Chains A and B, each alone.
Chain A
Amino acid sequence: DADVTQTPRNRITKTGKRIMLECSQTKGHDRMYWYRQDPGLGLRLIYYSFDVKDINKGEISDGYSVSRQAQAKFSLSLESAIPNQTALYFCATSTARSGNTEAFFGQGTRLTVV
């Protein structure tokens, strides 16, 4: 089983709909992240969380919200989806305990907003 699991893997939704992407991890990491990937733009950080009570905006948080329900779960919501939110979304985890900044990624969710 994957250490970082994202659901769903693919989703098509209509403009204006609310949608939630979910992420769970079994790595025991304290830090979790949501990125989106668009062609030619690399990965851009949407939100990140360093523990259950900590939520921080990334560089492109507008139009998104998150919830850290438990250490192992971090969900991303699009309150009213729009077509330019069509992208590949990645959840990632890391831990500061070793002093490393390496991030471990889920398999991604391909979201299409029509």
Chain B
Amino acid sequence: EDKVVQSPLSLVVHEGDTVTLNCSYEVTNFRSLLWYKQEKKAPTFLFMLTSSGIEKKSGRLSSILDKKELFSILNITATQTGDSAVYLCAVGGTSYGKLTFGQGTILTVHP
């Protein structure tokens, strides 16, 4: 059975701090790892990673995948209150395209 585990489950920081969110996985026939941000309702797509060691960046957010050690990290630098959200990690592990999600990390950024 495919499994995705995120840590920490929750995190409280102050504006300007840097945070690192972790995602480890056990998946058959790994195809991709995705990060989503969920603020109020629908998760919104952040990154998709398929190759080890290649960092994806978007502004203050960046992510990297280690396929040998089966994990990914999501970094957020100079956090802002607008970064407060649930961050979800998901893995596509079969040829069918369906995703297995982790529990999510609740990030709270205080002013």
Contact = CB atoms under 8 A, between A and B. Distances in A.
A40 B9 contact: yes
Contacts of B102: 42
Contact of B92 (A40, A44, A101, A104): A101
A101 B9 contact: no
| Interface residue SS majority, chain B | strand
Interface in B66-100: 88, 90, 92, 96-100
Contact of A43 (B44, B88, B97): B88
B42 A43 contact: no
B48 A100 contact: yes
| Interface residue SS majority, chain A | strand
B48 A45 contact: no
A44 B101 CA distance: 7
A56 B41 CA distance: 25
Interface of B: 4, 6, 9, 31-32, 34, 41-45, 48, 88, 90, 92, 96-104
